[in-house]
Structure 1
């Protein structure tokens, strides 16, 4: 049974996706959460940042000019030290893992070690894809319901958009799909217009409608509306447990990204998307957009 955090959850400021001001920053939220939740539950909050941390690890490993992903929890010095540790492991397989790296999933060590051992290091996209696939497989086995389902949902979005883009630009996209299952199988092999998903896959229909937007900014906003609504629906009966906190934090980070880019623009795009979606098709029941129209 999940631990209940009545005091902490009751004190969380309300947030809506069309807000133009933050009640607090993600950094402030994490600092407060660290004093309020158990060590194991706090680690779940850190897992939400792992894709961004992997992005930064790859940037350091391949010495690219890409800017640091500011949503990552670990700085470049951390990853430099981690890579130094792995190079020691190559020379001495029995080298013990320092305590500062103990919390990192083992699949990271496995894949990066493989890349470092190559006479000529494999291309970055190959290592990136290997990490992503292992990451989604790892979260699929998480004992926490929210982590398991949130990243399954994220993988579903990623796969559908990868397939749509791949087909549009005539690219061999199947190798870039993550996870297994019937949907992944259909996306990789079906030659029908809807990848064999049809009306059965509500998320596919919602994503394709958003994808038809010509403005990339509108598309990204639409995808985040879907994510926000998924969290609301998923946590409908979660009141004070860690899943409620994890969902709140995901929404806070979504809101932060849009407010940092431009709060006025974010609100304008949000309202425009709502109008377009409501006037042009019925949003799937699982992603009922009307409930986001709070005053």
Structure 2
């Protein structure tokens, strides 16, 4: 299906311009009714990233403030948790299957004891599910991001002499290699085209500049993989993803970038302690 009017009406986005930027949740809410049923499910998969975090917040605190970019409300989560409690095989169009997988685990026994954070475990389930999407572009996007993020984690673990086996998420081939590799090229030369570039970017001492360059890499990937998709859903999905990047940069400061890095490092250290 082509979306001539929708795509033609989308503004041009540039990485250096965040003026007049729509909130991700508002943008998704505006675009969703204009898509066909199958394509709405694809957009829903992107929005699930916000719902993942909201689900974890809700499980921790039923009154927690949820990110409005997520699709599900507190009432939705209350209904879905009740449904999962009362049914062995819960069925609801709002319920993504990997949420059931996560909820069925006892976090204390099955996640914490393995040295894996709840967020990382949820992310791993999300990537595994998303890489089976009924859309080649989304499959490739999620796998690209999984490989990129896992490589950065592996580089960080090597630099600070930490065990990468519990920090790397997902279950694709590159994830399996990164958990155990000791080679200079992390054992994935020829498997991940951006390997050398990411290794160089990881050495950037300015954390904010490094994050910008990594997002530029993601931005260019989206440009390359939608170049010939003039009015298709792929062009719409790429627009949403770019908007999310710009929104993140609009909120980010050098101090926030430093905090992100320290939080990540502390999370990895905590994982090491739990394994001892």
Q: Which TM bucket (shorter chain)?
A: 0.7 to 0.9
Q: Give the unaligned 5+ runs of structure 2.
A: 258-276
Give the match's secondary structure for 1:175.
Answer: coil
Matched, 1:104 2:95: yes
* Distance verdict in 2 for CA 1:23–1:54, change over 3 Å: closer
Structure 1 segment 165-204 matched on structure 2, within 5 A:
165-198=156-189, 201-204=192-195
Asked if the contact 1:146–1:246 (Cα under 8 Å) also holds between the matched residues in 2, the reply is: no
Q: Do the aligned partners of 1:49 and 1:72 also contact (CA within 8 Å) in 2? A: yes
What is the match of residue 226 of structure 2?
Answer: 235
Displacement of 1:126 in angstroms is: 5.2
Cα distance, 1:248 vs. partner?
Answer: 0.8
Partner of 1:288: none
Deviating beyond 4 angstroms after TM superposition, the runs of 4 or more aligned structure 1 residues are 64-70
Give the structure 1 partner of residue 131 of structure 2.
140
Q: Is 1:17–2:15 an aligned residue pair?
A: yes
Aligned counterpart for 2:36 among listed residues 21, 35, 38: 38
Distance verdict in 2 for CA 1:171–1:66, change over 3 Å: farther
Aligned to 2:54: 56
Residue 84 (structure 2) aligns with:
86
The answer as to 2:251 corresponding to 1:253 is no
The aligned counterpart of 2:153 is 162
Flag the 1:176–1:255 CA change in 2: closer, same or farther, 3 A: same
Bigger Cα displacement from structure 2, 185-194 vs 65-74:
65-74
Residue matched to 2:274: none
| Structure-2-length-normalised TM-score | 0.79
Answer with 164-173 or 124-133: which moved more.
Answer: 124-133
Task: Give yes or no for the alignment of 1:47 onto 2:45.
Answer: yes
Q: Is residue 2:112 matched to residue 1:123?
A: yes
- Contact in 2 for aligned 1:22/1:256 (Cα 8 Å): no
**Residue-by-residue CA offset, 1:146-187 (whole Å, 9 max, x unaligned):** 211110111011110111111112221123323445433432
RMSD between aligned residues = 2.9
Q: TM-score, normalised by structure 1?
A: 0.75
Residues 112 and 127, structure 1, Cα contact 8 Å, conserved in 2:
no
Quote the residue 1:73 is aligned against. Answer: 71
Unaligned runs of 5+ in 1: 270-295
Q: Structure 1: how far apart are the matches of 2:63 and 2:164?
A: 26
Aligned length: 253
Call closer, same or farther: CA 1:20–1:129 in 2, change over 3 Å: closer
Deviations 1:17-55 (A, max 9, x none): 111313543334223312321122122112112223112
Measured against aligned partners, the alpha-carbon deviations of 1:230-263 in whole angstroms (never above 9, x if no partner) come to: 100100111101011000110011112212346x
